[in-house]
Chains A and B, each alone.
Chain A
Amino acid sequence: DIQMTQSPSSLSASVGDRVTITCRASQTINNYLNWYQQKPGKAPKVLIYAASMLRDGVPTRFSGSGSGTEFTLSISSLQPEDSGNYYCHQSYGSLTWTFGQGTKIEIK
């Protein structure tokens, strides 16, 4: 199975800061990498798919990059509503998927 290592597990940043979350796959995943945001008590919501494609309706301060085994999610200017948990998700691997462990973003 493909393992996903996500870091950091949590971060605290101020409004306006640029933040970056990293996900590393245990083998190449052909850019089949998605990012989700989850608010407490709610279902996740996709932000970025195919490593770098912004989902319709998602603010442009969110961006994704990377290829092969290293991927990043960046928020260019952190907003109060961006607090929550973020997960990477590999959808390669013969349809046996894995999620990263998650990153909790807190606003200072």
Chain B
Amino acid sequence: EVQVVESGGGLVQPGGSLRLSCVASGFTFSNYWMTWVRQGPGKGLEWVANIKGDEIEKYYMRSAKGRFTISRVNAENSLYLQINNLRAEDTAVYYCARILYSPYNNCPLIDYWGQGTQVTVSS
């Protein structure tokens, strides 16, 4: 059974840092792109970052560059998101998820999501 489980969220002061973790199981982790998606309180989904299985390619939302770093350790089936200089607008549930490439037309989709970890930025 495919599972992804996030951890590492919490209450952080503005300007602080946080490292979110995600442990995956039930599939060959290194073969899959992975993604982080966030959702602010009462808001919609916002894509944050993607990382290829071999970690060579990484992509970020425009507003993430410079403060967010996505990484992975395949030997530990783990995905990470380092967030620096946290701002109030970073308050959100952060989801770790697996990316699947459709055999139909190679369209990427998010097929398995974790339950999310809450990040609250407040003084």
Please report A residues at the B interface, Cβ cutoff 8 Å: 1, 30-34, 36, 38, 43-46, 49-51, 53, 55, 85, 87, 89, 91, 94-102
Contacts and interface: CB of A to CB of B under 8 A. Distances in A.
B44 to A, nearest CB: 4
Interface of B: 35, 37, 44-47, 50, 57, 59-62, 95, 97, 102, 104-105, 107-111, 113-116
A97 B46 CA distance: 9
Contacts, number: 74
Given A1-B62, A31-B105, A32-B108, A43 B44 contact: no
Given A87-B44, A96-B59, A96-B61, A32 B107 contact: yes
Contacts of B108: 32, 91, 95
B105 A50 contact: yes
Contacts of B105: 30-32, 50
Nearest to B111: A46
27 contacts: A1-B62, A30-B105, A32-B105, A34-B107, A34-B110, A36-B45, A36-B110, A43-B95, A43-B97, A44-B110, A44-B113, A45-B113, A46-B109, A49-B107, A50-B105, A55-B111, A87-B44, A89-B109, A89-B110, A94-B59, A95-B50, A95-B59, A96-B61, A97-B47, A99-B44, A99-B45, A99-B46
